[in-house]
Chains A and B, each alone.
Chain A
Amino acid sequence: MYEITFSTITTWVDAFLNQYMPSWLATTIECLVIGVGLLVVYALLALFYIYFERKVCAAFQCRLGPNRVGPMGLLQSFADMFKMLIKEIITLKHIDRFLFALAPYLVITASMLTFACLPWGNGLQIIDFNIGIFFLIAVSSIGVLGILLAGWSSNNKFTLIGALRSGAQMVSYELSIGLSVLTMVAFAGTMSFTELVAKQEDLWFIFQGHIPALIAFLIYIVAGTAETNRGPFDLPEAESELTAGYHTEYSGLHFGFFYLAEYLNLFVVSGVATLLFFGGWMPLHIPGWEAFNDVMNYIPSFVWFIGKAIAISFIIIWFKWTFPRLRIDQLLKLEWKYLLPINLVNLVLMVLIIVFNLHF
C-alpha cells in the first residue's frame, strides 16, 4: 500500500539535527519548531473557522456573507485579527486582577493542548502514547475552569450567571462525552491514537460497530455541541439573556483568546469525532473494492482528516443556525434523564456486540 508517512520526514530531521549538535539542543530546537508550527496552524485554522462559520451562516440566512475584504472576503478574519491585536485591554477596578488575567490563558491552553494531541495524518502527530484519548479528555476539561474563573473574577452578575451555567453544563455533558468515548474505546480495545486509526483501516468504526456506534456518535455530537458552548446549547453566552455571558467584561486580545478557543474547540470536538467514528486520517476504504481504495489512498492523509473534521463542524454549525436555545433546566434534563441512561445502555449493548462478535 502506497502512502506518505510523515514519520520518515520527522525521523530524518531528527537524525540530521543530532548529527551536528548535542542531543539536548536538537530536542529543544525540535520542540520549538513544533510549538511554533502548532501555534501557526492553530491561529490559521481558527481564522479559517471564523470565516467558514460566517459564510455558512450567511448561506443559511440567504445572505452573501463577507465578500469585500480580499477575494470572496477571505481576508476578513485577518482584518479582524489585526484589529483585535491593537484593541485596548481594559483594566477593571474592583476585580481579582490575577484570576481575571489568568482565565483566558487557561481557556486557550486547554484548547491548545487538546489540539496538539490530534493525529493529523499518517505519522503527523506530536505525541503518541497508550492513554492518548484519556489524556485528551482530561486536558479539555481544564477549559471549564478558565470559564468559571472568567465569570467569577469579572465581578459582574451577568458573567457570574454565565459561568455558573457553563459549569453546570460542562460538568454534565462531560459525562456523556466520556461515556460515548468509552463505548468506542471498548470497541477498539485501545486508547492510543495510532492504534485507533490503524484499526479502522478496512472500515470506519461507525460502520464496523453499526447500531451502538451510531448511537454513540449521535450522543457524542450532541454532547460535543454542548461542550463547545454552541447553539442550541449556548446558554453561557446567550446573547439575548446575558449580553455576552462569561466574557462580557473582556476586551481586546483577551476576548480574542476566548473567541479563538471557542472556534478551535469546535474543530477539536469534530476532530475527535472523526478519530473515533470516521477513521481519523484513514481514507475511505471499502473491503473488496481494491481499485477504489487505491484511488482514495492518493489523497494525502491530512486532507482526509481536516476534510472530515470540517464536514462534522458543518453539522454543528448547522445546528446553531437552525435551533432555538434550550433553557437551563431543559438542558440538564436532556443530559441526566435521556442522554446518560441511553449512553449506559448503549455501552452494555456495545459490550454484548463485542462479546458475541456481531460487528463487521
Chain B
Amino acid sequence: MANIQEKIAKLFPEATFEEGENLMVCIPDSKWHALAKTLKEDAELHFDFLVTIVGMDWTDKLGCIYYLQSTVDNKMISVKVTTEDRENPMIHSVHDVWAIATTFEREVYDFFGIIFVNNPDMRRMFLSIDWKGYPLRKDYDDNPELNPVPKENERQEDTTVSYVETEDGKIEKKVLNVFEPNDFVVNIGPQHPATHGVLRFRTAVDGETIKKIDFYSGYIHRGIEKICEGLTYPQTLHFMDRMDYFSSHHYHHAMCMVYEKALGIEISRRAQVIRVLMDELARIASHCLFMGTFCMDLGATTMLFYTLRVREQILDIMEKTCGARMTFNYGCIGGVMQDLHEDFVKDVKELLAVLPKNIKEYNELFIGNVIAKGRLENVGTLTREDAISYAVTGPSGRASGWACDVRKTNPYSIYGELDFEEVVYTEGDSMARTKLRLAEMEQSARIIEQLIDNIPEGEYCVKVPKVVKLPEGRWFQMVEGCRGAFGVYVESTGGTSPLRLKLVPPCLPLANVVDHLTRGNKIADLITIGGSLDYIVPDIDR
C-alpha cells in the first residue's frame, strides 16, 4: 500500500491520504478523472474493478467514495471526491473508465442530487421523474404530502439529460433521445413473468431482434438505506433478509462482520462454522431455485418442481434451526441467534446423500437436451474485459473467466482454511453460466462435507454490549452472495445508528449488463440472458 501511496502522491501532488481499513485517496474534483484513468490503466496499480460508488452527505459537504479493486492482486483502494456546493453539486463522471459507473452515478444522482458531468444518462433511476427532493440527503423533507402515493400513471419521458463539459470548461445541459424516432418499443415489465419480479425493460425491437434496452428499476425501491439511518445497529440486520431473499444468510454474514470489525469483537469458532454452513446450504438452495425458474422461463416447467424438491429439503433444515422458511434473521452481532437444532447434522447428511443424484438428474434433463443447447450456447456471450468493466461478479462473472469469488480473493471467516475449488469457465455464454451454478452446488456440498463432522463446541454467540455503539470511522466488507459480491459500507459518527449505511447489491450490475448482452439477439434471448444472469429485483432496488 505504501508504494501505491507514494506513486499517487508523485503523480498527483494535490492528493491527500487518509488511513483506515484500506488506503483512501482524497482528490479534488478537477483531478479526479485523470486519477481514475491512471488508477485503471497503470500496469502497477491496475484498479480495473469499480466495486461501488458510495454517495455521502456530511451536511457540510456532499461527495462520493469510490471503492476500487484490482483483479490482479485483489488489493483495494478507495477514493474520496467531495464538493461543497449543495445547490448544484457536480463531480466529473468516470463512465468512460469503468462502464458500470454510468449506472452507479445515476444512482448517486437519484439519492443525493450530485450531477456527474459528462455522464450520458442523468435521469432519476429508482424514483419517478416528478419526485421532489433527494431522499438520502440529511436535509431531505420526508413529509408524505410532498410526495404522495401517485394516483395516476407515471409520467414518461423518452429523452434523457446529459451535462457535457465544453472545451472551455463550461457545462452545458443536453437533451438526448433514448430511442431512435422510428423504433418499435415494446414495454416488458414491470409486471411480466420473465423479469423475475418488477423490473421494466423498454425494448426497441426490429421484428424479433432487439436493438436497445432501456432498463427501469425502482418498482420495489423501499429505501432500506434511509430507514437504516434511523435505526440502531442490531435493528438494521433484519433488512438483509428482504433484499436478495435467497442470500439472506450471506448478507447477514456481511453485515455482522462489518459491525464486529468495527467493534473489535472476535466471534467463536463455532459461530463461524455455523455461519459458513448456513451460507453454503443457502447457496445450494438458491442455485436450485435458479435452475428451476430459469428452465421454467425457457418453457421446461417440470424442472422447477424437481429443483424445488431439494430446496424444500434445505428449507426444512433451516426451519428447524432458524424457525422460518425464508426470512431467517439468523446472524446477529457476535454470532448467531440460536444454537443448531439437534437434528441438524443428521438432516444435512441426508441432504448430502441425495444431492449428487439430483445434480446428475438436472444435468441429464436439461443441460444435455438438444433444445436447451440450442437456446443457451453462444447466447449472450460476455467477455472477461466486459465482465470486469460492467462489474458482473458472482457466477456470471466467473462464467466469463473472471475469478472473482470473494471467498478466494479476500477470504473471510474460515474460508481461507477450507478446501474447495473456485469454478471458472471461459465461454461466457448462457450455457456456461448455467453449468457453473451446477458445478458450484457440488463445491458447496464439498465445503459442507468438510465441516459437518467438525462443528466445534463452544458458545454460539459471544457477549456484546447491550447498546451497540460503533466508534467513529468507516468500514467496508464484502462477501460472496449467491449472485455475486455483496458489500456493506458503514460510516459512523460514534452514535447508536449509522451516519450512512450503503449496501452494494450484486444484482444491479447484472441487470445493467442485460442491454449490452442482448443487442442483436432475439426477444426470446432476452429471457435466456436475463434468466441466466439470475438477478433478484428487490436486491437491485433495495
Partner of B375, one of A231, A240, A243, A326: A326
Verify B302–A61 contact, CB threshold 8 A: yes
Interface flag for B374 (CB, 8 Å): yes
Verify B299–A62 contact, CB threshold 8 A: no
Question: Which chain A residues in 43-62 approach chain B with CB under 8 Å?
Answer: 57, 60-62
Cβ of A57: which chain B residues have Cβ within 8 Å of it? 301-302
Which of these binds chain A: B96-104, B316-324, B523-531? Answer: B523-531
Partner of A325, one of B187, B298, B522, B525: B298
How far apart are B214's CB and chain A's nearest CB, in angstroms?
Answer: 15
Verify B295–A324 contact, CB threshold 8 A: yes
Question: Which chain B residues in 123-162 approach chain A with CB under 8 Å?
Answer: none
- In the bound complex, how far is the Cα of B298 from the Cα of A327, in angstroms? 9
Complex: chain B residue closest to A234, CB-CB: B299
Interface flag for A328 (CB, 8 Å): yes
Verify A161–B523 contact, CB threshold 8 A: yes
Interface flag for B192 (CB, 8 Å): yes
Complex: chain A residue closest to B521, CB-CB: A327
Partner of A239, one of B193, B300, B366: B193
How many residues from A make CB contacts under 8 Å with B?
28
Verify A327–B309 contact, CB threshold 8 A: no
- In the bound complex, how far is the Cα of B527 from the Cα of A327, in angstroms? 11
Cβ of A241: which chain B residues have Cβ within 8 Å of it? 194, 523-524, 526-527
Interface flag for A323 (CB, 8 Å): yes
Centre residue among A240, A321, A323, A330 by max chain B CB count within 10 A: A240
Verify B194–A240 contact, CB threshold 8 A: yes
Partner of A240, one of B297, B366, B525: B297
Verify A328–B522 contact, CB threshold 8 A: yes
Cβ of B171: which chain A residues have Cβ within 8 Å of it? none
Q: Mark B182-200, 1 if CB is under 8 A from A, else 0.
A: 0010110000111000000
Cβ of A10: which chain B residues have Cβ within 8 Å of it? none
How far apart are A270's CB and chain B's nearest CB, in angstroms?
Answer: 21
Verify B208–A330 contact, CB threshold 8 A: no
- In the bound complex, how far is the Cα of B300 from the Cα of A232, in angstroms? 8
Verify A326–B300 contact, CB threshold 8 A: no
Verify B299–A327 contact, CB threshold 8 A: no
Interface flag for B22 (CB, 8 Å): no
Complex: chain B residue closest to A321, CB-CB: B302
How far apart are A71's CB and chain B's nearest CB, in angstroms?
Answer: 25
In the complex, number of A-B residue pairs with CB atoms less than 8 Å apart: 80
Complex: chain A residue closest to B365, CB-CB: A322
- In the bound complex, how far is the Cα of B57 from the Cα of A128, in angstroms? 84
- In the bound complex, how far is the Cα of B524 from the Cα of A305, in angstroms? 38
Interface flag for A158 (CB, 8 Å): yes
Complex: chain A residue closest to B304, CB-CB: A61
Interface flag for A97 (CB, 8 Å): no
Partner of B371, one of A157, A165, A232: A232
Verify B299–A323 contact, CB threshold 8 A: yes
Cβ of A324: which chain B residues have Cβ within 8 Å of it? 295, 298-300, 366, 369, 371-372, 375
How far apart are B312's CB and chain A's nearest CB, in angstroms?
Answer: 11
Q: Mark B511-524, 1 if CB is under 8 A from A, else 0.
A: 00000000000111
Cβ of B295: which chain A residues have Cβ within 8 Å of it? 324
- In the bound complex, how far is the Cα of B522 from the Cα of A238, in angstroms? 14
Verify A232–B192 contact, CB threshold 8 A: no
Cβ of B522: which chain A residues have Cβ within 8 Å of it? 327-329
Interface flag for A63 (CB, 8 Å): yes
Complex: chain B residue closest to A165, CB-CB: B208
- In the bound complex, how far is the Cα of B61 from the Cα of A75, in angstroms? 69
Verify B301–A327 contact, CB threshold 8 A: no
- In the bound complex, how far is the Cα of B209 from the Cα of A161, in angstroms? 12
Question: Which chain B residues in 19-60 approach chain A with CB under 8 Å?
Answer: none
Verify B302–A157 contact, CB threshold 8 A: no
Cβ of B187: which chain A residues have Cβ within 8 Å of it? 157
How far apart are B168's CB and chain A's nearest CB, in angstroms?
Answer: 46
Question: Which chain B residues in 70-129 approach chain A with CB under 8 Å?
Answer: none
Complex: chain A residue closest to B192, CB-CB: A243
Cβ of A329: which chain B residues have Cβ within 8 Å of it? 208, 522
Interface flag for B296 (CB, 8 Å): yes
Verify B301–A321 contact, CB threshold 8 A: yes
- In the bound complex, how far is the Cα of B524 from the Cα of A122, in angstroms? 47
- In the bound complex, how far is the Cα of B184 from the Cα of A328, in angstroms? 19
Question: Which chain A residues in 146-188 approach chain B with CB under 8 Å?
Answer: 157-158, 161, 165
- In the bound complex, how far is the Cα of B366 from the Cα of A330, in angstroms? 17
Interface flag for B17 (CB, 8 Å): no
Question: Which chain A residues in 317-345 approach chain B with CB under 8 Å?
Answer: 321-330
Interface flag for B305 (CB, 8 Å): yes
A63-B305, A240-B194 given as contacts; is B299 within 8 A of A232 (CB)?
Answer: yes
Cβ of B192: which chain A residues have Cβ within 8 Å of it? 243
Complex: chain A residue closest to B296, CB-CB: A240
How far apart are B194's CB and chain A's nearest CB, in angstroms?
Answer: 4
Partner of A322, one of B296, B300, B374, B525: B300
Complex: chain A residue closest to B530, CB-CB: A240
Cβ of B208: which chain A residues have Cβ within 8 Å of it? 161, 165, 328-329
How far apart are B182's CB and chain A's nearest CB, in angstroms?
Answer: 15
Cβ of A325: which chain B residues have Cβ within 8 Å of it? 298-300, 371, 375, 524
Complex: chain B residue closest to A328, CB-CB: B208
How far apart are A341's CB and chain B's nearest CB, in angstroms?
Answer: 19
Verify B298–A161 contact, CB threshold 8 A: no
Cβ of A60: which chain B residues have Cβ within 8 Å of it? 302
Cβ of B305: which chain A residues have Cβ within 8 Å of it? 61-63
- In the bound complex, how far is the Cα of B207 from the Cα of A328, in angstroms? 11
A234-B299, A240-B299, A241-B194 given as contacts; is B371 within 8 A of A326 (CB)?
Answer: yes
Cβ of A157: which chain B residues have Cβ within 8 Å of it? 184, 186-187
- In the bound complex, how far is the Cα of B205 from the Cα of A157, in angstroms? 11
Complex: chain A residue closest to B372, CB-CB: A324
Cβ of B194: which chain A residues have Cβ within 8 Å of it? 240-241
A240-B194, A321-B301 given as contacts; is B366 within 8 A of A327 (CB)?
Answer: no
How far apart are A262's CB and chain B's nearest CB, in angstroms?
Answer: 16
- In the bound complex, how far is the Cα of B525 from the Cα of A276, in angstroms? 38
Partner of B369, one of A240, A321, A323: A323
Cβ of A234: which chain B residues have Cβ within 8 Å of it? 299
- In the bound complex, how far is the Cα of B192 from the Cα of A157, in angstroms? 14
Other A-B pairs, 9, CB within 8 Å; known A57-B301, A63-B305, A324-B366:
A57-B302, A232-B371, A235-B524, A240-B299, A243-B193, A325-B524, A326-B371, A327-B522, A328-B524
Which residues of A does B touch, CB under 8 Å?
Answer: 57, 60-63, 157-158, 161, 165, 231-232, 234-235, 238-241, 243, 321-330
> What are 10 A-B pairs with beta-carbon distances under 8 A?
A57-B301, A61-B302, A161-B186, A161-B523, A234-B299, A238-B524, A240-B194, A243-B193, A325-B371, A328-B208
Give 3 nearest A-B pairs by CB, closest first: A325-B299, A324-B298, A61-B305
